[in-house]
């Protein structure tokens, strides 16, 4: 679709892939709704997105673990811009370590952010999208949602859940005009990797994807013609 003048809502937009995705949509001329918990960092993204060419940037405090804040994020987006064309479910966290050492708090935080958050934001976005019979939901997964590995059970479980959710959602809403794309990147060089605990086989940064690599893939998917749906994109480092 043509992104100039379109409305894209992005979760977890204060840093990393979310930030770069906001800037990529801004360069394409889209209106933006950006949500995250860190309002200071989010304000910097808002300023950068305006400078990059977005005609309008709405900044919203968003905690995807809370259903009501997800609904408010979408409601404010539609109230401000009149519609919602694209939702990018990007917000996510990861804890790594043996199952025997994984705490209740780590497990619950992983599931609430990576699984519940996608469900809450998607459900809210479907209301205006189904009413129009148009829209695109893009969900960030991971290579660990395709192939699980030791010491990464909680994160893999969350991403496998998202894979199943996305596949079921696509079958449910595609006949009603809603497109669903899941993007599964490999290792990405962001601050996210600094939180890794006991994660094996992490390559050096020069052999990882960049956040901008992933953002460009998201924008490419959003621009796909109506006759061709990129249902799933597995993105691997090119080095």
Is residue 12 within 8 Å of 64, Cβ to Cβ?
yes
Burial class (CB in 10 A: 0-12, 13-18, 19+), 86: buried
Is residue 1 within 8 Å of 227, Cβ to Cβ?
no
Which residue bears the tokens 């010491």?
A: 151
Domains with residue ranges and CATH for the chain: 7-235 (3.40.50.720)
Distance of CA 213 to the CA centre of its chain: 14
Q: What is the pLDDT along the chain (239 residues), one digit of tens a residue?
A: 899 999 999 999 999 999 999 999 999 999 999 999 999 999 999 999 999 999 999 999 999 999 999 999 999 999 999 999 999 999 999 888 999 999 999 999 999 999 999 999 999 999 999 999 999 999 999 988 888 888 899 999 999 999 999 999 999 999 999 999 999 998 887 765 555 545 556 767 767 899 999 999 999 999 999 899 999 999 988 77
Is residue 229 within 8 Å of 181, Cβ to Cβ?
yes
Which residues have C-beta within 8 Å of that of residue 102, sequence separation ≥ 6? 95, 153, 154
What Å distances lie between residue 30 and 89, 124, 163, CA to CA? 17, 20, 27
Question: Which residues are known to be catalytic?
Answer: 155
Report how many helices (DSSP H) and strands (DSSP E) the chain contains, helices first: 7, 9
From CA 129, how far away is CA 127, in angstroms rounded?
6
């Amino acid at each position: 679709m043509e992104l100039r003048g379109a409305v894209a809502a992005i979760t977890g937009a204060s840093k990393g892939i979310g930030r770069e995705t906001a800037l990529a949509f801004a360069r394409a001329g889209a209106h933006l709704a950006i949500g995250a918990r860190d309002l200071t960092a989010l304000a910097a993204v808002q300023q950068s997105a305006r400078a990059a060419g977005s005609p309008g940037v709405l900044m919203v405090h968003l905690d995807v673990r809370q259903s009501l804040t997800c609904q408010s994020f979408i409601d404010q987006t539609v109230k401000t811009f009149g519609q919602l064309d694209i939702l990018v479910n990007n917000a996510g966290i990861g804890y790594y370590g043996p199952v025997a050492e994984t705490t209740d708090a780590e497990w619950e935080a992983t599931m609430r952010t990576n699984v519940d958050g996608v469900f809450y934001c998607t459900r809210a976005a479907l209301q205006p999208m189904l009413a129009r019979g148009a829209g695109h939901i893009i969900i960030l997964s991971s290579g660990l949602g395709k192939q699980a590995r030791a010491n990464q059970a909680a994160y893999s479980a969350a991403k496998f859940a998202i894979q199943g959710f996305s596949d079921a959602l696509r079958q449910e809403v595609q006949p009603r005009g809603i497109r669903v794309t899941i993007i599964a990147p490999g290792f990405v060089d962001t601050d996210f990797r600094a939180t890794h605990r006991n994660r094996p086989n992490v390559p050096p940064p020069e052999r990882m994807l960049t956040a901008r690599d992933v953002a460009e893939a998201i924008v490419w998917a959003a621009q796909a013609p109506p006759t061709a749906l990129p249902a799933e994109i597995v993105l691997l480092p090119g080095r």
